[in-house]
Amino acid sequence: MSSKRVAVFRKEHFNAAHRLHNPNWTEEKNQEVFGKCNNPNYHGHNYEIIVQVIGEVNPDTGYVMDTKELSTLVKTEILDKFDHKNLNTDTEEFKNLNPSAENIVMVIYDKLRNKLNDTLTLKIRLYETERNFVEYPVD
Ligand code: NI
């Protein structure tokens, strides 16, 4: 029989504030590159995350992974840390890392990857707005 690999998705969201800023640049250059996202008083986004887990279907459960377990993992590893936070000032992860969508999606991936079984493939999609989103890793 062919491979029984199936992709399972879990969608979650969190609200967070951020400011895109490169401390090595002048105020003018920051403003020019990051525009509104450089606002010194921060601004918020309603981030949506889609966690994709691919793996073999376990014949005993019929699951790739228990979605309750996946949901709990996303809550404890991601939402509890980032929801309603200022990413720049309230989190260790972005104290010295510009909280762009690209950097956020890689941080989220690493946190979940550490907690998932090695046999499972993981991919994260992060929406910063309805129209702007990123995905990691890239095949
Ligand atoms: Ni922004």
Indicate if 92 belongs to the active site. Answer: no
Q: What pLDDT does residue 58 have?
A: 94
Q: What one-character DSSP code corresponds to residue 57?
A: P
Spatial contact of 107 and 97, defined as CB atoms under 8 Å apart? yes
Distance from residue 20's CA to the centre of ligand 1 (Å): 7
Average pLDDT over residues 14-18: 98
> Which pLDDT score, from 0 to 100, does residue 20 have?
97
Instruction: pLDDT band for 2, please (50, 70, 90 cuts).
Output: low
Q: How close are the terminal C-alpha atoms of the chain, in Å?
A: 26
Rounded to an integer, the average pLDDT of 6-21 is 97
Note the helical H segments in the chain: 27-34, 67-74, 80-82, 87-90, 101-113
Is 93 marked active-site? no
* pTM over 0.85, yes/no: yes
pLDDT in tens, 20-70: 999 999 999 999 999 999 999 999 999 999 999 999 999 999 999 999 999
Give the pLDDT score at 1.
Answer: 52
128 in active site:
yes
41-74 b/e (C-beta count within 10 Å ≥ 16 → b): eeeebebbbbbebbbeeeeeeebbbeeeebeebb
- List the structure tokens of 84: 């309603």
Q: Which residues pair with 124 in a beta bridge?
A: 51, 136
> What does the domain layout of the chain look like in residue ranges?
5-17+44-136
- pLDDT tens-place string over residues 72-127: 999 999 999 999 999 999 999 999 999 999 999 999 999 999 999 999 999 999 99
pLDDT at 10 over 80: yes
Which entry of 21, 37, 93, 130 is annotated as an active-site residue? 37
Distance 44 CA to ligand 1 centre (A): 7
Nearest 5°: phi and psi at 131?
A: -100, -15
Average pLDDT over residues 2-12: 90
The answer to whether 53 and 70 have CB atoms below 8 angstroms apart is yes
Distance 30 CA to ligand 1 centre (A): 13
Q: How far is the CA of 70 from the centre of ligand 1 (A)?
A: 27
Instruction: List strands edge to edge, sheet with 133-136.
Output: 85-86, 5-18, 43-56, 121-127, 133-136
CATH classification code of 5-17+44-136:
3.30.479.10
